[in-house]
A = this chain, B = another copy of it.
Amino acid sequence: MKIDAWGNSKIEDYNHVFKEFGLEEFNYENIVDHYLFKRKILIAQRDFNKISDAIKNKKPFLQLTGIASSGDLHLGHKLDIDFFNLFKNLGAKGKFCICDIDAYVSRPDSKVPSLDFAKKVAIKNVADIIALGVNPNDIYVQSQKEKEYYSFVFELSKKISSNMFEGIYGHKDIGKISAVLLQIGDILHIQLPFMWGKNPTITGIGLEQDPHARITRDISRELNYNLEVPSFFYFEHQSGLKEGSKMSSSEPSTAIFLKDSPAEVKRKILNAFTGGKETLEEQKENGGNPEICKIYEIIRFHNPDSSFLEKTYTRCKEGKLNCGDCKKNCTAFLNNFLENHQKRCKEAMNIAEKIVLGKQ
């Protein structure tokens, strides 16, 4: 099985991937009392013991999370941001990176026609991220960094051979090589002397991003800087609203965007794939299947109320909750959340513009 960092496939066979690439299962559910740790959203890890030690012993650790988006953020992105907030609360210093240069150089012009376009997208993304509770001081865009950061990214280029790159990614596209150098720079630069120096670091990614994790870890060992090999956790991707798909900006009908109106949310949820039976009668008799249900997944990923989640699961299984009512609940929850979010997002636009364009 080939992991394609730029693909859009859902990885079904986790065990196979674990064996082939040396990932380890995530067994740290109990070190933190938080719904994101309890709900099997965390699948795998590399060197997470360094982070659990730091959390347990209240020792310093760092985090770096990044989003390279070509459009509006959706619920899938929210997960990255929720994890960032969680690790910040657990004591991590760190940065949230908006990968505007990466978004431009790694994507076709049809998606991201110019760096200016990428910056316009970045402004909206930053506003969303601030609205989701990230401190503006913790956010940077790649195009507004210190010169030390850029020098470091160029330094990295001496440590990757094109054979190494082709072995991992299967191609040698120079724009994507640049994007990878920037990503490695993002994750490692927080350990440089001008940032926080050598410390354990944690970055959360989807499984299909593991090629980036491996090359980043390899290079951290080869640099002349004194660096801790970075740790990673791998989370399940929010899937799309249709059967089998990943939530993705490229398929807007399958995604709940953070800017969606109440009517849009209502319509999308109404059309979402569920684990319900063909008839109401059958459902009452045999119960539904929350494991494959997109509505249930939204609740599992985003509703912090664990007793509500459990009730939903049990009542669905027992045939006591029909899909129509469950969808109404979910729509109400999302629209309540989005109403507040969009208000905060509007208020954050000014500061987002300053962060992305560097204006005073």
What residue of chain B has the Cβ atom nearest to residue A112's Cβ?
B158
What residue of chain B has the Cβ atom nearest to residue A102's Cβ?
B154
Whether A157 lies near B174 (C-beta < 8 A) is yes
> In the complex, which residues of chain B have a beta carbon less than 8 angstroms from the beta carbon of A147?
143-145, 147, 150, 358
Q: Which 4 A-B pairs have the closest CB atoms?
A: A157-B178, A150-B150, A158-B175, A162-B172
A164 CB to nearest B CB, Å:
9
A67 within 8 A of B: no
**CA gap between A27 and B172 in the complex, in Å:** 42
> In the complex, which residues of chain B have a beta carbon less than 8 angstroms from the beta carbon of A173?
161-162
What residue of chain B has the Cβ atom nearest to residue A151's Cβ?
B143
A202 within 8 A of B: no
Chain A positions 148-182 with a Cβ under 8 Å from a chain B Cβ: 150-151, 154-155, 157-158, 160-162, 165, 172-175, 177-178, 181-182
A36 within 8 A of B: no
Q: Mark A45-74, 1 if CB is under 8 A from B, else 0.
A: 000000000000000000000000000000
> In the complex, which residues of chain B have a beta carbon less than 8 angstroms from the beta carbon of A155?
101, 104-105, 115
Whether A105 lies near B182 (C-beta < 8 A) is no
A15 within 8 A of B: no
A114 within 8 A of B: yes
A240 CB to nearest B CB, Å:
28
A137 within 8 A of B: no
Whether B115 lies near A151 (C-beta < 8 A) is yes
Main secondary structure of the interface of A (DSSP, over half): helix
A153 CB to nearest B CB, Å:
8
Q: List 12 A-B contacts (CB under 8 A).
A: A101-B154, A104-B155, A105-B154, A105-B157, A109-B158, A154-B182, A157-B174, A158-B175, A158-B178, A160-B174, A162-B174, A172-B172
Whether A151 lies near B101 (C-beta < 8 A) is yes
A101 CB to nearest B CB, Å:
5
Chain A contact patch, size range:
20 to 34
What residue of chain B has the Cβ atom nearest to residue A175's Cβ?
B158
**CA gap between A104 and B160 in the complex, in Å:** 14
What residue of chain B has the Cβ atom nearest to residue A224's Cβ?
B114
Given contacts A115-B155, A224-B114, contact A174 B150 (CB under 8 A): no
**CA gap between A173 and B157 in the complex, in Å:** 9
**CA gap between A205 and B308 in the complex, in Å:** 71
Of the candidates A160, A172, A182, A224, the one having the most CB atoms from chain B within 10 angstroms of its own CB is A172
**CA gap between A143 and B177 in the complex, in Å:** 20
Whether A177 lies near B177 (C-beta < 8 A) is yes
- Inter-chain pairs besides A174-B177, A178-B181, 7 sampled, C-beta below 8 Å: A109-B158, A144-B147, A158-B175, A160-B174, A161-B173, A162-B162, A162-B174
Whether A174 lies near B151 (C-beta < 8 A) is no
Of the candidates A115, A155, A161, the one having the most CB atoms from chain B within 10 angstroms of its own CB is A155
Of the candidates A150, A157, A174, the one having the most CB atoms from chain B within 10 angstroms of its own CB is A174
**CA gap between A109 and B222 in the complex, in Å:** 13
Whether A165 lies near B174 (C-beta < 8 A) is yes
Q: Mark A117-140, 1 if CB is under 8 A from B, else 0.
A: 000000000000000000000000
A62 CB to nearest B CB, Å:
22
> In the complex, which residues of chain B have a beta carbon less than 8 angstroms from the beta carbon of A161?
173-174
Of the candidates A109, A151, A160, the one having the most CB atoms from chain B within 10 angstroms of its own CB is A151
